[in-house]
Chain A
Amino acid sequence: MPSRDYANTRYSGLDEITTDNVAKLQVAFTFATGTLLGQESAPIVIGDTLYFVTPYPNILYAVDLTQPGGALKWKFDPKPAAASQGVACCQPVNRGPTYYNGRIFYNTLDAHTVALDAETGQLLWKTRVGDFNYGDTFTMAPLVVKNKVLVGNSGAEFGARGWLAALDASDGSIAWRAFTTGPDSDVLIDHAEFKPFYPQYRGKDLGVSQWPPEHWKIGGGTVWGWISYDPELDLIYYGTSNPSPWNHEVRPGDNHWTNGIFARDPDTGKARWFYQFSPHDLWDHSAVNENLILDMQWQGQMRKVVVRPERNGYMYVIDRVTGEVLAADAYTYITASKGVDLKTGRLIYNEDKTPSQGRVVREVCPNSPGAKDWTPSSFSKRTGLIYMPHNNMCMDWEVKPVSYIAGTGYIGVNARFYPGPGDGNVGELMAWDPVARRKLWGVPERWPVWSGTAVTAGDVVFYGNLEGWFKAVHAQTGEVLWQFKTASGIIGQPTTFRGPDGRQYVAILSGIGGWAGAMVSGELDERDPTAAKGFGNMVGELKKQSGIGGMLYVFALPR
């Protein structure tokens, strides 16, 4: 699976590549993806085969690692509907396939899930899980838990109503679907089993009453991020996205159950607890980031927690049994809020920044992609540190009237982004100590870091930047030990694996795109600062530093 394990650590026990020899890494082979719109997929390796998915048209490649230069074993073209590209808010990306029991599962942009025979590429089943005419698309990587393929929609920028669905891995039939908004029966809240820690989640049908009449039907709360699973507690954890539209004035209420985290029983889908990071979202602070499952020392006691680097700029430590927030520490420059009240669990918004029609709110930090977007962190069992890509950006924000028209964007905001205070560097790879609750070091980046990370038992952290540099960093000191310039910007997820020849390899897709790279890969016009929902305002030299591309790179030490 792209996140390596159910705990989402992205930690590999391989240690042939070390801090001492990583500087000798060289290209073992490359492989053209044939697509150009933002390569976010993690390559995954099962046996002698490497698999990855391209952005639309979502071709799945199986690469034979036993052949010199990585020959094509087979490919699968699901032929998604071309029109679904229109409802992909932030480029038609795909975050990867997953493997379970001899099968490859992945999602296509037009809201289908497919299951393939991992050996032959034969299509075993294909299920239409959503409807892109109403804004449902798929960009996330599925997770399989107890023979259920968990998939969730994207589309909160189009008024899609969010859900997580569990498909039977054997035949693709839908076992359960948990909506993010609407009546308890749709959200799979059974009050006999639902035990949230805070009282604001305890009422009946809050997914209806915390919205204007009927608005929950077009209220967003999509599920396009990472899912983790604790086999001992037998609970899955995942985040829900921003409510729709971005203009908050048209949706008074806390907008349950958007922008929060659910713990659910994977067999029935029933909710166990919920916590809302950004109630009544003001800024598109979509709460879908990874939840690292850690057992750690907390004030002299071992606690079962999830650590969540959240888009709103706080690093949350949450008791994963009860849903109690133990800590929420700012890890970046924040003006949008003033902290988290640990008694009530509520985010304390900065009243001065509340947007209202007719007034441009300035210097809102973090901006809508947030202190950290989908880009997954990693956690090293050896160093005890979290390696987190994150950003320091602010924005001007103006709400405007908006009407819902199915198939068009449901936004109601003009925004323009710019670097946060500091030296102009916008991104950083940060090492965070979750026990001491502080940053240890950071590797500064000129542009938003839009790639994931991986960390190894050789104490090397891998990630890439928008210019296309793929980097190896010392997991203890933050020293950049090696870097290689790939052909295009990197927004993918690094993978390390042992090849059929017994050597350790590192793989990454290069290919700029996604929200942060859309100005380049979409060939958008920066004379409009609101292009790409605000990134038009901060293109700078990026178009010179990174070209459009789509290539898999695989590295190894020389023989």
Chain B
Amino acid sequence: MYSRCLASLLLLGCTLLAGCERETRAFHEEAPAINDVSPTDFRAGGTPRPVAKNPQAAEYERNAFHISEGKRYYEWYNCYSCHAAGGGDIGPPLMDDEWRYGGEIEQIFSSIVEGRPNGMPSFAGRIPEQQVWEIAAYVRSMSGNAAKDAVPSRGDEIKTTKPLTQVPPTPERSEPPRSNR
């Protein structure tokens, strides 16, 4: 992996570490395990319960190979048949900023593996874990939540959605009153 990184450094002249991650092709990497991922961070007592972050998961959404593989598997496993190219159909849109069960990559992973009650089938045992991470990273990219230099710019199919490089993440502010905390 080190030499591959060096090679791509030389070939593409990429200078940032992110650039390396973008080009890394991991085939038999140990996929991060999932545990304790709740669709909600709302917790009695007031302090939100953060989604258990998986350090390796983040790498999937910074990596071009993983995201483009994810796009391929999204078609392959018929996700498009229920979610179209992200605009939704039987299932909800995946390209917007609204999540019923959470939009963190770990939560998306969990939606795919566990299924969801109103008609999202569980793909447990059907899709190898690493591919699920790749699909989850691709799903994140639909709403502009993956590294811009890692997402595929355009496909060769019928024009469906905007190139993913042009999807802006939703601007957000957080200014709750102090007295509430």
Contacts from A to B (Cβ < 8 Å): 82-89, 157, 360, 396, 398, 400-403, 405, 407-411, 414, 416, 518, 522-533, 536
Closest 4 CB pairs of A and B: A409-B81, A86-B119, A528-B87, A531-B87
| B89 and A529 form a contact (CB under 8 A) | no
| B119 and A526 form a contact (CB under 8 A) | no
| A85 and B118 form a contact (CB under 8 A) | yes
User: Chain B, 82-122, contact with A by CB distance < 8 Å: what is the 0/1 string?
Assistant: 10111111111101100000000000000000010111110
Contact of A82 among B87, B118, B121, B160 (CB under 8 A): B118
| B160 and A528 form a contact (CB under 8 A) | yes
- The secondary structure that dominates the A interface is loop
| B93 and A405 form a contact (CB under 8 A) | no
| A522 and B85 form a contact (CB under 8 A) | no
A532 to B84, CA, bound (A): 7
**Contacts A82-B119, A86-B91, A414-B160: A533 and B84 contacting too (C-beta < 8 A)?**
yes
Q: Hey, which chain A residues are within 8 Å of B79, CB to CB? A: 408
Chain B: minimal CB distance from A260 (Å):
25
| A536 and B87 form a contact (CB under 8 A) | yes
| B81 and A411 form a contact (CB under 8 A) | yes
A413 to B89, CA, bound (A): 14
| B158 and A530 form a contact (CB under 8 A) | yes
Chain A: minimal CB distance from B89 (Å):
5
Q: Hey, which chain B residues are within 8 Å of A414, CB to CB? A: 85, 157-158, 160
B159 within 8 A of A: yes
Q: Hey, which chain A residues are within 8 Å of B88, CB to CB? A: 522-525, 528, 531-532
| B77 and A528 form a contact (CB under 8 A) | no
Residue of B nearest to A396 (CB): B158
Contact of B89 among A400, A402, A403, A531 (CB under 8 A): A531
Contacts from B to A (Cβ < 8 Å): 75-82, 84-93, 95-96, 115, 117-121, 126, 157-162
| B161 and A528 form a contact (CB under 8 A) | yes
A408 to B88, CA, bound (A): 14
Contact of B87 among A84, A396, A410, A524 (CB under 8 A): A524
A453 to B75, CA, bound (A): 39
Chain A: minimal CB distance from B45 (Å):
30
| A85 and B119 form a contact (CB under 8 A) | yes
Chain B: minimal CB distance from A532 (Å):
5
Residue of B nearest to A405 (CB): B78
What are 27 contact pairs spanning A and B, CB under 8 A? A83-B117, A83-B118, A83-B119, A85-B118, A85-B119, A86-B82, A86-B90, A86-B121, A87-B90, A398-B158, A400-B157, A401-B75, A405-B77, A405-B126, A409-B80, A411-B80, A414-B160, A518-B89, A523-B92, A524-B88, A524-B89, A528-B160, A529-B159, A529-B161, A531-B87, A531-B88, A532-B88
Interface centre among B80, B90, B159 (most CB of A within 10 A): B90
| B119 and A531 form a contact (CB under 8 A) | no
Contact of A525 among B82, B95, B115, B157 (CB under 8 A): B95
A84 to B162, CA, bound (A): 32
A157 to B81, CA, bound (A): 9
A86 to B75, CA, bound (A): 17
Chain B: minimal CB distance from A182 (Å):
24
**Contacts A86-B118, A531-B93: A403 and B78 contacting too (C-beta < 8 A)?**
yes
Q: Hey, which chain A residues are within 8 Å of B162, CB to CB? A: 527
**Contacts A398-B157, A408-B82, A522-B92: A527 and B87 contacting too (C-beta < 8 A)?**
yes
A403 to B118, CA, bound (A): 23
Q: Hey, which chain A residues are within 8 Å of B115, CB to CB? A: 83
